[in-house]
Every structure is written in structure tokens, then in C-alpha cells.
Structure 1
Amino acid sequence: MAVGKPIAERIDRCSLVLAEGRTSGRVRRLTSGPRRAVLFGECPASDETLARALTEAPIPAQAVTAVGSLPGAYGVSVTDGRETAVAGDLAGLVRIWFRRDENAVACATSPIPLAAADGLRLDRDALAAWMFCSDFSGGISGRPLFKGITELSPDRMLVVRDGRASVLQRPRCRQRTDFATASAALRRALSAAVERRVTRADSVTADFSGGLDSSSLALLATRYRTTSIPALTYTDAFAANDDDTGYATRLATAAPGLRQVLIKGNARTLPFTDMISAPFTDHPSLDAVIHGRDRTRLLPATGSALHLVGDGGDVVLGAPLTYLAALARPGTLRRFARESAGWARLRHRPLHRVVRAALAAAHTSYEDTLIALAARLEKPSEAPSAGHAPAMEHSIVWSSLNQSARWGTDDARGAAADLLLGAAKDSTDADGADAHAMRAVRRHAFMTRSFVQIAEDLGVQVAAPFFDHQVIAACMRLPTAERVSVDRAKPLLASAMEGLLPAELFDRRTKGDYTACEYHGVRRNAAALRALLHESRLGDLGIIRPDLVLRELETAVDGGHAAMAGLEEVFATEVWLRNLDDPPIPATVTVTAKG
């Protein structure tokens, strides 16, 4: 989708369709002079602050930038009668889709109401691309899973002016800062993000896994509540996560403001169990695979006015391994050698392979990476032999193919390759580790968006403060290579929370591992999974070869190393396609403006 060029002309009306359950918060309307704004999501700013941002900008498009950069996580629409501008939040938790009719543009916070007007026509090629390359879930092509509509990437806005509709690039934050300044900014932003939520909520619960992200939020929340907060710790006898429960229990015992609630998993909470009962979401969701676990671990939070989750912490506070490529330059070569050696030791890989991968990434652009991926898709699938595990150095790239691509039909792989080439041609993304880190944030926000939908269906109001505008800005203004280290987990968070949270929280060097649960789940649900493949919707669409997936499934059932992430993608999509037969259409509220 070309940026800056008109995509429709003779437009006399622009409407915004707010879909129930897709805005992660309330809807606010504000009028200041001739301008009207609608904010949808979590926006705690006062009316005075919003009015100032709304009126000081010369035109509505700039007002969207000004209003949309205030604290919170929300989308915004601004109109003055002549121009209308619409955008989602910066991370992609609140997204926008639009369709063009003869004399109107309709925007929506869900693709379903827009696509339903045209019979929910599935775009088979877009689904293939979505499955084969994870960057498509970040909105790089603007092509969603339904025909007749367009997805607005989180880094863009839709502007209708003088009868013309255009997609414009949102201004990028080019301001850079040092570690101490970023740490102070993160301390303020994260503390405020938690405080404004918990002080306004009648009741609060929180995830409390024992990891850094959820534990930090739960412990911060105790500073702003006079009553104890139920802290939910999920434990599973099938998983190798004894460290999770132990750390969580020790932290909770030392925190009088927390009341730990232990939730024990069982055979009914294993992955791949009862997937068909997962709620329908706007797109295939990996949470369908773990619906039994989600349903059980969120049960104690049912009815709570606010449930804090640490989703987004890994990508906002951390960075992809491509940060090594940013260090492979004069001035930082000593640190490059130290970090590369550290990762090689940690992952038991030859150092020269890690170094070679980082140097290759340093000399490759994002556009060239997408073109190379397209070339790989155009060739016959190269399915690795059983027992093969991708080496860590293969992740030191700007983009990659998903495991499910190896099972794609030649036709579907070719169609996905064409879309990748189109995305490469139209890409406005910057090169380098910082841009790659932001793409990772958008992909993760996209996945969290469906989890928020599922949680709401279960009666749980989820909040993910790590996706707030100010939290992201505090982290992203520090260059990626300066906010991560192989020697310490999330050093920026540790620095920001010094004195607020116990030091023990940041001493942990392990992480819970649920891989064993996936294999147990495959074995216990093997018959149901085989049945899905014997009547494969993806096979009927010509996207995958079910026989190849079945072979991989049998490898997993037998206990061999399998492409588990690929299996999860396939089965989540199979379930979604079945639910698409009779999907619930969300209730909507429509706001109309002229542009």
C-alpha cells in the first residue's frame, strides 16, 4: 500500500465503527472549537490536556500525533469538518481497518463488521502470507485476512481531506537518550501506568508468575492499594517451571500487599485441549491452543474490574538478537565480541557462527531480507529432517519464515512470495536493530490483542501497561544495543525499579519452560488433532499439505523433536476457520464525520 498517495477520491463521508471488546477501555469524546476528537482505549489524560493538544496542532493529522502520544494505549480520530484523521495506538493493541465505498470511507476497530458487509470473504493468499511470515501480523502489507478491506499499520494514519483519502506515515520518534535518562523516564511512565489503573478500579487482580514482568506490575500495584491484591500464580506438574512457583512464592511472602493464589494445571489445561470452545477472535490466535490453560488460570480474576498482565514486557524492555548487528561497527567492537561470546556460551553454539550471522545482518537491509524470503518461498519447501532444531544464530535476521511455511503448497508459497515482494517494495520501515525491535513490539501487541478478546469473553478485564505509549517511548528512545545485555536480564527495568521493588526480583537467571506441556498435550489430544487434519480447511484452501503436517504431528506424538510452533500455528488456524462458519458479529457504535 503506497504511503502518501490518494487511495480514494470524491469522498464526502468518513465514519468510525467502534466494535465492542476491541478498544481495551472506554470511549471518550471531546470538542474544542471546530474540532471533534474520539479516543478509544485507555487514555487517562485530563480534558484540559487533551483540549490543548487538540487545538494547538495546525491540522487534524498533526492533532492525531499530538493527542495520540499522551500516556495510555488508545486510538484517536480527529475531525474539523474539512479534514478527518484516524489512527490506532502506537503498539498495535488498538488497531484500525477501513473499507472504501463509492463516496465514503468506513474505519473500524475490528475487521469483522466491515468484512461482514461483504459476506466475510476470506483472502486466501493473505492467510497464507500471514501463516508463513510473522511480519504480516505486524501489518507490513496493509492486507488483512478478508477481501474488500485494508489494515492500517500502527505506524500509519488514515487522512481524508477535500474528498481525498490517503494513508500517511506517522512521525517517528528520532530523539535518543542515555541509559540514566531512559531509566528515570521508564520509572515515571510505568509507575504512572500502574497507579492510574489500580486507583480507579474497584477491584484488582494480577498475574504473578515469578518472572520480571508480571511480578514488577503486581508489586508496583501494592503501592497504590490499601487492600491486598490477589496474585495469580499458575503451576503445572507437566512443566519444568518449578523455578516460577518458587520465585513467585518467595516474592509474595515478602510482600504484605499481595495474596498469592496458586492455580494448579492438569490434563484439562494442557495445550491443544478443547480448542474448538475457544472464543472467536478477529484473527487466528495461538491462545486457542492454550484455551484450557487461559480459562483455568484466569478463573480467579473473573469479575475483577482490572487484571494486570505482564504481556509486552519481553519485547518492550528487551530486543531481538539483531542488536548484535548494531554493535558490529567501529567503537563498539569490544562489546560486540563480549556479547557474541556470551550468547555462544549460553546457547552452546560455535562463536564464529554467531559472529558471522551478526555481521551478515549488519550488511543486509530489511527490504533485501524480505526479497530473500520471497525467493525461498518460490523454491520447493525444504522440510528439515526430524530432530533438527534451528540454531540460535538463525534468529539474528531482520525477518524470517514461520515453521508452517515448510508445509505450504507450491501455489500458496508463491502467493505469499508475491505479497512479500510487494511489502518489500512499499516498505517505509527503517533499517537496523531499533526498527526491528519496534516491529517485534507490534507483532506481540497483535497477539496480545486476541488474548484481551478471549479474556473479556471469560469475564476478565485485562490491562497490559507495558504497551502504554509513554512506557514504549521511554524504552525505545534508548538505542536497542544499550538496553539489553547477555549478562543481565532487562537491565533497564532493574535500574528503573531500584528502590521500588525488591532486588531479589532481578537476581533471577532462569525462566519457566512449558515445552513439555506441549508434547503431553499433543499426545493426549492426538486423535482430535488427526481428525482436524483429515478434514483440513487449510488443505481445502490449498494453503498447506495436510500429509506433511500429519507426519510432523506423529513425530511429536512419538516424543521426537517437532516443529511445535508450526503445529500450533496450523491448529490455531484450523480452529479459527471452523469458527468462521458462523462468527459472532460484535456490537458497534458508529461515529460519522465529513472530510
Structure 2
Amino acid sequence: MKIQNSMDVRTGRVSAAYGSNVIRGRVHRSGRGSLWCSEDRPTSRLRKLNVDRWKAVIFGECLTSDVCVARELSGATSARAALLKISRFPGRYGVLVYSRGEAAVAGDLAGIIRIWFRPGRDSVEFATSPLPLAYDSGLQLDRNALAARLLCADFTTGLNDGSLFHGVAELSPGRILVVKGRHISLADRPLEREPVDPTAAGDALRSALLTAVEERVSGALQVTADLSGGLDSSTLALLAASCHRHRVRTITYADDFAANDDDIDHAQRISTREPALDRVVVHGDADALPFTSLRAAPFTDLPSLETVIWARTRARLAPAFVSGATVHFVGDGGDIVLGAPLTYLGDLLQRRRLAHLISDSRAWARLRNRPVHRVLRAAAGTARTGYHDTLNALAQTLETPATTTASVPRRSAVSLMEDGITWASLSDAAEWATHGARVAVAQKLQAAAAEAPPVTSEVDAHGWRMLWRHGAATRAFVDVADRLGVRIAAPFFDNQVIDACYAVAPADRVSVYQAKPLLRSALAETLPPELFARRTKGDYGSCEYHGVRRNSAYLRSLLRESRLGDLGVIRPGAVLCELDRAINGGPAAMAALGDVVAAEIWLRGLEEHVPAGARSAVSAEERP
């Protein structure tokens, strides 16, 4: 079998405007393809194969050999089939496959490597960032799409295949872009997994995590890892230490403003037990609080909460950069793939697993100090509806005028337990939106409901949406870390890890009585028992209040000159009232405030950080 690296790959000066790792390509109607990328894209993350009639490009981290990829590629009967075959390997990566007359492209399974595309007369262009395509289309911001992202988090998952720019479409992580002749289609990615019992899944998860860590550690000169004291980061740090020939430097972030003493104590115990871990403690001070140094935050191609906490990210990753780390492990994604959405309670009722439902509802009620009948009522309400019905109900809520008074009733922290037992929800930012924005988002929700495909399991589909939502957040973190000179590895987002976890029914992945039972099943015989004994979790909520108070002057000025207000998306006065509530220490919608601030910074970034000549530069220098 002959393998050739003959793909046309070109570099260009786009990294300053769009980030350091932009992949961009064009698929011609004839099936001919071309690809080009930013000049500092590491060649190790871009692999090209030419096998029989198929040409393929893998962008990201595919943890298997070219020979294995080529073996699967050679037997494919269509571009879509070829893409699906070579998307099954360990790692996290996107794929372009093409031959004469047809092509297929998709991002990774977790939604961290995303694809945007723009159909043209003779070709379809795609990119892993929306900005290059948006600039070629005149950078026409879709304010209704921006409002939708603010008001409903499901729009960050590629819902409706829309984007923040007119003329550019976003490919949902659950879909594949297929070009065949002059026909363009979006094919559904098969997401259903062959169900397995938790024991078999534990074996698969152990193998998947060991492969994910071993392959990344192999050949690395310096390895670093987060060691927060939590189960996910601790697992990866210990696995990295067992695989690497040198000591692994671990980083524990200790925030003086947070209630995270348990985190630090657990991290200390784990580090003391394992001599191959070289622990560094980073003490976060006032300069690392959320909402700090927003003017200096790196420009991301989409609004992201990473902008709000970037000062913390910079402090936390500094030891990895100073160490010259080849790879830095983080536990991001573990909470999602090892757990399940609370809507599994409604699924239990639908499946008539009443004993399981009552037992878990009672346990959750005790844990969150809630009346058990309210938990059961929420589960019953979820069981009677589906995603389609919920989107329509949210649209109806938005069509009702928002509260106009300064004092909006605030949900108590404990009521979030019931609120989480739903297929979708609105952000608190909906209370601050203009009537026009609310109506526009309602129309988008109704359109999404009309297009929602039938699913075998509502709770499984909900799990995928949660994964993609967190994948979108991690995408921004990975980009910011790259700007800081740190290469992130997040094994819990790898294909084979997701497959192992999502092959288990949601109700069997989660337990009120034991933290992450699937991980324990996988690694209880490999890792120290005290790792699985922890029942507490650090609370960083107070940091947000300290950050708001310390940066109140700048935040007020940001909202008084609100770009979202100029666009007719929010009522700045309503947001300022909420900001004042937070500054004064009252219960505030901090997550929604963070989203608004991130969007304000991003809109300014479009004006300030993107070079004025970027569009002409792309046209003149980037095209093959």
C-alpha cells in the first residue's frame, strides 16, 4: 500500500487576526481540494495521506499511525464513509477526505475543532475559524445570532447550523459536510453507541485513557499537568507520571478568594504519595481574579467566558510555559463524559424504572437540601416533553415582554437543582434583552424546533449537546493557552474516551452515592484508593464577586458604552442594575454577566484586534 504526502498545504499570515491554529480549505465542485493554514501551525498536528483514489488531511491529534489510517481509507466506497472510518481512531481531530467528484469534512467529536463553511459558485470554502470566511463575505455580523448565543446556550452547539456572520454557516459537531458534484448536503454523524455494561465500559475507558496519555507523553521532553485535587486532573497527572521517564511537574492553583482548601489538601496528599510528581503551587492574587485585565485579554474568534477569566488562566499556566512543557494535561471534560445530565431522572420515568427514579430523587433531594416531591415533579415534567417541545416553550417565554423594573427576582442557589432537570433553558440574560432581540431569538428557537430530528433517546441527545457546549468553551481555552505558549492535552475529550463513556446508559454513568463510578471501575486497581474517596468540591463563586468589585469602574464604563446596546440586543440599564447588585454583594446572575462582558469585549475586538487590511491580505496572500 503506497502512502504519499502530496496534499497542497500552504502557509500565510493569518495568525494575528484569527488565532494561531487556523486551518482553511476549499473543495471544488469537481472534487479537487486544497488546504492552507496559519504559518505557525505545528506540522505534527497536520497529517496528509494519499491512498488509492482518496486524499485525506487530518488536523489535530490523531494518536495512530499513517499505516492504520491508510488501511481504513483504502476500503472506503464514498467520501462520507471514508471520513467515518478514519474518525474512529484515538485522539481528537478533524478530517477532510476527497476524491474526484466528492468530498467530506468534519471537526472532532467533542466540538473543540469546529468547522465553518461558505458555499460559492464553483467551490465550498471551509475553515476552523469563522473569521477568514466572514472577512471574505464582508464581515456582516448577525446580531440576532449573537443575541441567540447570549439568551440560550444551546446555540453554542451549532444549533440551526448558523453562525455569527451572514454568509457563513457553522457545521454542528454532529454533522458532516458532504460535497458531491454540484450538490452540498449535511449528513448526520452516527452518535448512537452499542450499549455495554459498566464493567466492560470500565475496561474500555482504562484502555482509552492509557492510550491517550501514553501516546502524548511518548517522546515529550517535559510534561506538565494540572493537579487541582479533583478526580479528573489527579487521574491524568498520576497516569502521566506512570508513563513518563522523568518527573511530571504538576500545577495546583490556590485562590486566596475561593473556598478551595479541600482541593489544595487533596492535591498535597496525592503529590506526597507519588514521588514522580513535582508539585508547584500557584497562589492566585487579586491580579488573577475574574474580570481583571480585560483590555489585555487575547482576542478569540467567538465570544467566550475565557476572556473573563483569562488573567487566572495566564497565572495558572505560567509554570508550564516556564518549564518548557511539550504537553500540559488538563482534566477538562471529565465532569461531562463521566457524568450525565439530570434529565436522566425523567428518562428513568419514561422507561418505568421507578425504584431507581425514587431512590436517586431522594438522594439528590438530600444532597441539595430540596423537597423530594419537587425533584420528582421536575422529572415528571421532563418525561412528558421532549427537546422539540422545550424549544417551543422557551420561544413562547421570550415572546412575553421581559421585566422592566430594576429589581428582577433572583433565583436562589438551591433552586438550580430543579432548573437543571430540563432539556434546554434560557440564560438570565434574557431578562436584559430588548423586546426585538427576544422576538428574534424566539423565532430562531421555533425554527430549531421545527428542524429538530427525531431521536431514539432524548437523554442521550441531551448528553451530546452538553458535551458540545463544553467543547466550545474548551476550544477558547485551548486557543488562549496556545497564545501563552502552552500546548493543551484534554484526554477526556478524545474520541475513544467519549465512546467508552457514552456506551453506558446515562443513569448508569452517574451516582449520587459515589463520585464518577465509571472512572473508579476503570482505574480503581491502578490508582490510589483515596483518590476515589473524596466527596467535596471546591467553590470558586466568591472569586467572581471579588473580581466584579475590584474592576467595577471599568465594567460600568463598558456597559455605559455598550456595543450590545448599540446593536439593540440588550438594555444596558438592566445589566448595570445587575452589576450593581453583584458589586454590593447581593445574589446576582454572575454567569450571564460574564457572558455579556465577554460579548462586549469580543465586539471591541472585532474593531481593535483584527487588522484593517486583513481581508485584502487574505485575498492576496492566502489563496492557493
For this structure pair, what is the TM-score category when the shorter chain's length is used for normalisation?
over 0.9
Aligned partners of 1:64 and 1:582: how far apart in 2? 38
Native 8 Å contact 2:29 2:101 kept in 1: no
Task: Tell me which residue corresponds to 2:423.
Answer: 398
Alignment match of 2:157 (pick from 102, 117, 138): 138
Per-residue CA shift, 1:226-280, capped at 9, x if unaligned?
A: 2111100000111111101010001001011101100001110111111121111
Q: Does 1:261 align with 2:280?
A: yes
State the shift of 1:498 in Å: 1.3
For 1:510, give the aligned amino acid: T
Q: Does 1:276 align with 2:302?
A: no
State the shift of 1:123 in Å: 0.8
Task: Tell me which residue corresponds to 2:367.
Answer: 346
Q: 1:61 to 1:329 in 2, by over 3 A?
A: closer
For 2:442, give the aligned amino acid: A
Native 8 Å contact 2:317 2:486 kept in 1: yes
Mean Cα deviation higher: 68-77 or 583-592: 583-592
Mean Cα deviation higher: 446-455 or 583-592: 583-592
Task: Tell me which residue corresponds to 2:12.
Answer: none
Q: 1:10 to 1:68 in 2, by over 3 A?
A: closer
Q: Does 1:373 align with 2:399?
A: no
Percent sequence identity is: 51
Task: Tell me which residue corresponds to 1:287.
Answer: 306
Q: Does 1:571 align with 2:592?
A: no
Q: 1:490 to 1:12 in 2, by over 3 A?
A: closer
Alignment match of 2:441 (pick from 416, 430, 440): 416
State the shift of 1:81 in Å: 1.3
Aligned partners of 1:402 and 1:521: how far apart in 2? 21
Q: 1:405 to 1:17 in 2, by over 3 A?
A: farther
Per-residue CA shift, 1:452-511, capped at 9, x if unaligned?
A: 010011111111111100000000011111110111111100110111111111110100
Q: Does 1:547 align with 2:566?
A: no
Native 8 Å contact 1:17 1:109 kept in 2: no
TM-score by length of 2: 0.91
Aligned partners of 2:237 and 2:100: how far apart in 1? 44
Q: 1:309 to 1:9 in 2, by over 3 A?
A: closer
Task: Tell me which residue corresponds to 2:119.
Answer: 100
Aligned partners of 1:172 and 1:466: how far apart in 2? 17
State the shift of 1:381 in Å: 1.6
Q: Secondary structure at the match of 1:519?
A: helix
- Tell me, which stretches of 5 or more residues in structure 1 are unaligned? 1-7
Per-residue CA shift, 1:357-408, capped at 9, x if unaligned?
A: 1111111111111111111111112474257444311110001011211110
Q: 1:444 to 1:282 in 2, by over 3 A?
A: same
Aligned partners of 1:424 and 1:167: how far apart in 2? 18
Native 8 Å contact 2:116 2:129 kept in 1: yes
Task: Tell me which residue corresponds to 1:4.
Answer: none
Alignment match of 1:164 (pick from 173, 183, 194): 183
State the shift of 1:191 in Å: 0.9
RMSD: 2.0
Q: Does 1:89 align with 2:113?
A: no
Q: Does 1:434 align with 2:460?
A: yes
Higher relative contact order (CA 8 A, sep 6+): 1
Aligned partners of 1:544 and 1:464: how far apart in 2? 35
Alignment match of 1:450 (pick from 471, 476, 484): 476
For 1:572, give the aligned amino acid: A
TM-score by length of 1: 0.95
Native 8 Å contact 1:404 1:566 kept in 2: yes
Task: Tell me which residue corresponds to 1:117.
Answer: 136
Aligned partners of 1:260 and 1:436: how far apart in 2? 37
Q: Does 1:210 align with 2:229?
A: yes
Aligned partners of 1:583 and 1:545: how far apart in 2? 26
Aligned partners of 1:443 and 1:172: how far apart in 2? 16
Aligned partners of 1:257 and 1:591: how far apart in 2? 48
Native 8 Å contact 2:31 2:101 kept in 1: no
State the shift of 1:11 in Å: 6.8
Alignment match of 2:516 (pick from 490, 508, 515): 490
Task: Tell me which residue corresponds to 1:67.
Answer: 86
Aligned partners of 2:51 and 2:622: how far apart in 1? 20
Runs of 4+ in 1 over 3 A off after TM superposition: 8-25, 386-391, 582-592
Q: Secondary structure at the match of 2:48?
A: strand
Q: Does 1:36 align with 2:62?
A: no
Q: Does 1:250 align with 2:250?
A: no
Q: Does 1:514 align with 2:540?
A: yes
Native 8 Å contact 2:32 2:100 kept in 1: no
Aligned partners of 2:409 and 2:524: how far apart in 1? 48
Q: Does 1:58 align with 2:77?
A: yes
Aligned partners of 1:79 and 1:363: how far apart in 2? 44
Aligned partners of 1:220 and 1:423: how far apart in 2? 42
Q: 1:17 to 1:399 in 2, by over 3 A?
A: farther
Q: How does 1:463-502 map to 2 (within 5 A)?
A: 463-502=489-528
Q: 1:167 to 1:19 in 2, by over 3 A?
A: farther
State the shift of 1:18 in Å: 4.0
Task: Tell me which residue corresponds to 1:5.
Answer: none
Q: Secondary structure at the match of 1:298?
A: helix
State the shift of 1:200 in Å: 2.8
Q: 1:52 to 1:378 in 2, by over 3 A?
A: same
Q: 1:503 to 1:477 in 2, by over 3 A?
A: same
State the shift of 1:309 in Å: 0.6
State the shift of 1:55 in Å: 1.3
Per-residue CA shift, 1:298-357, capped at 9, x if unaligned?
A: 100113110101111111111111111121145521111010001111111111110011
Task: Tell me which residue corresponds to 1:321.
Answer: 342
Q: 1:25 to 1:307 in 2, by over 3 A?
A: farther
For 2:198, give the aligned amino acid: F
Aligned partners of 1:15 and 1:590: how far apart in 2? 12
Task: Tell me which residue corresponds to 2:207.
Answer: 188
Aligned partners of 1:245 and 1:358: how far apart in 2? 36
Aligned partners of 2:213 and 2:585: how far apart in 1? 43
Aligned partners of 2:377 and 2:355: how far apart in 1? 16
State the shift of 1:101 in Å: 1.7
For 2:136, give the aligned amino acid: A
Native 8 Å contact 1:123 1:145 kept in 2: yes
Task: Tell me which residue corresponds to 2:168.
Answer: 149
Q: Secondary structure at the match of 2:290?
A: coil
State the shift of 1:583 in Å: 3.3
Per-residue CA shift, 1:164-213, capped at 9, x if unaligned?
A: 11111112334111111111000000111011001132211101100011
Aligned partners of 2:113 and 2:338: how far apart in 1? 20
For 1:195, give the aligned amino acid: E
Task: Tell me which residue corresponds to 2:17.
Answer: none
Q: 1:44 to 1:406 in 2, by over 3 A?
A: same
